[in-house]
């Protein structure tokens, strides 16, 4: 097993920003890259994505800070730019006119919410706006109800930070062949839309041809949904799509093969949903878990964060766990301690996800 991580020796400069940029930097750091975050002086902020990162504070509006940044970038491989379109240019740090001329091997990863050349490029926005423009938000929600905001996971992290990370890796691979850096552009609108490629392609198939909330995989079908158990507020998730898995689900629920109408007729879905909902209410989540554990019914407990933490507390000493339950002021928090992609040729790095409070002071070093 190699003791050198895949991105060891790669030097990253991350301009401080909101979630997507720091998340891309975290992914790089988790796999061995050296990451330096550039904070704004006196900009008090709390950043939960600082694991394995160094930091300094620079005011990029003045010439002295420009000199420091350029000296750092002369030795860097990657710059993560989380700013809105045009900000670097207004600061006199244009990637094409300044940065790549200063260091031709530099990869400048630019992460924006809206498309840099699109209709909304000059507007502020957040995750819900980006997934709305991408069309993804239109797919989320129950039939007859407004679309719901699913938290800032799809736009900020999956369509934003993770896509930016992938673009950086592609640029690194290209540089090994050409010797040249380049600008990588990622935005949360296109990133989110790309994640929804399968539903879009399935619009002409029975899998996803109906209105929101009436399709096979969006809660429309009774065999791909959540059900409350006897414990109020505790749920089970069901995803028994294939016939053999559906048969295992019916067996676990105690239904005979002829007791319920066929699921192949969508007209029967309301009857099936009512039957499943009533049956799940008859037992606690723990009881259902004991019934379905180890089966192919595709029925699993719906784990709240507190439930996940409690489970991890029972096995927190496992050396292969990707998470660790750590004490907080009132209870425990479940924190990821490493990148989640397991590479068998490399050791597992275990480290807590730190919270950094920036009071504007300089950090430990420019680049390790």
Count of residues making up the chain: 368
Helix (H, G, I), strand (E, B) or coil at 203: helix
Helix (H, G, I), strand (E, B) or coil at 56: strand
End-to-end Cα spacing for the chain: 24
Distance CA 324, CA 327 (A): 10
Q: Is 156 a catalytic residue?
A: yes
How many C-beta neighbours within 10 Å does residue 119 have?
Answer: 9
- Residues contacting 259, CB < 8 A, separation 6+: 250
Query: Crossing angle of helices 188-195/127-134, nearest 10°?
Result: 60
In the set 39, 156, 218, 225, the catalytic residue is: 156
By C-alpha distance, which of 198, 134, 199, 124 is closest to 160? 134
Distance CA 275, CA 253 (A): 10
Provide the annotated active-site residues. Answer: 156
């Amino acid at each position: 097993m190699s003791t050198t991580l895949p991105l060891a020796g790669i030097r990253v400069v991350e301009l401080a920003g909101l979630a997507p940029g720091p998340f891309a930097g975290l992914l790089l750091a988790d796999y061995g890259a050296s990451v330096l975050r550039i904070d704004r002086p006196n900009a008090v902020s709390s950043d939960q994505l600082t694991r394995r990162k160094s930091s300094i504070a620079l005011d990029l509006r003045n010439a002295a800070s420009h000199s420091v940044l350029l000296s750092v970038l002369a030795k860097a491989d990657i710059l993560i730019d989380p700013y809105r379109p045009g900000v670097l240019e207004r600061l006199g740090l244009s990637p094409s006119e300044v940065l790549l001329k200063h260091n031709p091997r530099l990869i400048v990863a630019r992460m924006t919410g809206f498309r840099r050349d699109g209709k909304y490029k000059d507007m502020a926005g957040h995750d819900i706006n980006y997934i709305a423009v991408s069309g993804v938000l239109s797919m989320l929600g129950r039939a007859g109800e407004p679309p719901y905001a699913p938290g800032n996971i799809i736009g900020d992290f999956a369509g934003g930070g993770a896509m930016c990370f992938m673009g950086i890796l592609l640029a690194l691979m290209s540089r090994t062949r050409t010797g040249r850096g380049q600008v990588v552009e990622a935005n949360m609108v296109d990133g989110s839309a790309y994640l929804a490629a399968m539903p879009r392609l399935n619009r002409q198939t029975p899998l996803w041809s109906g209105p929101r909330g009436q399709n096979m995989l969006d809660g429309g079908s009774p065999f791909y949904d959540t059900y409350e158990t006897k414990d109020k507020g505790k749920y089970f998730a069901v995803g028994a799509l294939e016939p053999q898995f559906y048969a295992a689900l019916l067996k676990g629920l105690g239904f005979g093969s002829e007791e319920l109408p066929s699921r192949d007729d969508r007209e029967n879905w309301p009857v099936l949903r009512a039957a499943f909902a009533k049956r799940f209410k008859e037992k606690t989540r723990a009881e259902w878990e004991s019934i379905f554990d180890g089966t192919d019914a595709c029925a699993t407990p719906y784990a709240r964060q507190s439930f996940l933490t409690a489970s991890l507390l029972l096995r927190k000493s496992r050396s292969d766990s990707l998470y660790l339950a750590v004490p907080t002021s009132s209870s425990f928090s479940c924190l990821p301690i490493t990148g989640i992609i397991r590479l068998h040729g490399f050791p597992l790095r275990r480290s807590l996800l730190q919270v950094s409070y920036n009071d504007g002071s300089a950090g430990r070093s420019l680049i390790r």
